Amino acid sequence: DVLEDVVAALEGEHFLDDQRLARDVYRYYARKGQYGHLYIVNRLRRRCLPVPEDVERPDEYALAGDLVKRKFSYRADEARKAARFLQYRGFSPSVIRDVLEDFTVH
């Protein structure tokens, strides 16, 4: 009973706040500029945290495009490597497809 009272008091004072922690973790990974939404959501779920609805999602198209430009050369044989890299970083298939369309056009 005492433990439940202490936890309730800490939650009441927002010292234990899963929503706030989830927002902070999401923003941390988003600020790094290296991960897509799916990667961040997966990290939250591994920590048993809720996925915050009120955070601003990063522009995944611009972010993925910048990552590909920095990491890979514009050669056809690099497209598969770039796709795997983006997939590992949590970018959706549609983002990867669109970014790599631009990648192979150059």
Q: What is the CATH number of the domain that holds 77?
A: 1.10.10
Distance CA 48, CA 29 (A): 16
Q: How many separate domains does the chain show?
A: 2
Q: What is the mean pLDDT of residues 34-57?
A: 94
Q: What is the mean pLDDT of residues 44-63?
A: 93
**Which residue has better confidence, 11 or 105?**
11
Phi, psi for 23 (deg, rounded to 5):
-65, -45
Q: What is the mean pLDDT of residues 17-43?
A: 94
Can you give the pTM of this predicted structure? 0.80
Q: Where in the sequence is the domain holding 1, given as residue range(s)?
A: 1-58
Q: With 80 as the cut, is the pLDDT of residue 74 above it?
A: no
Distance CA 92, CA 96 (A): 6
Give the per-residue pLDDT at 35: 96
Q: Based on the domain organization, do 48 and 15 belong to the same domain? A: yes
Give the per-residue pLDDT at 102: 67
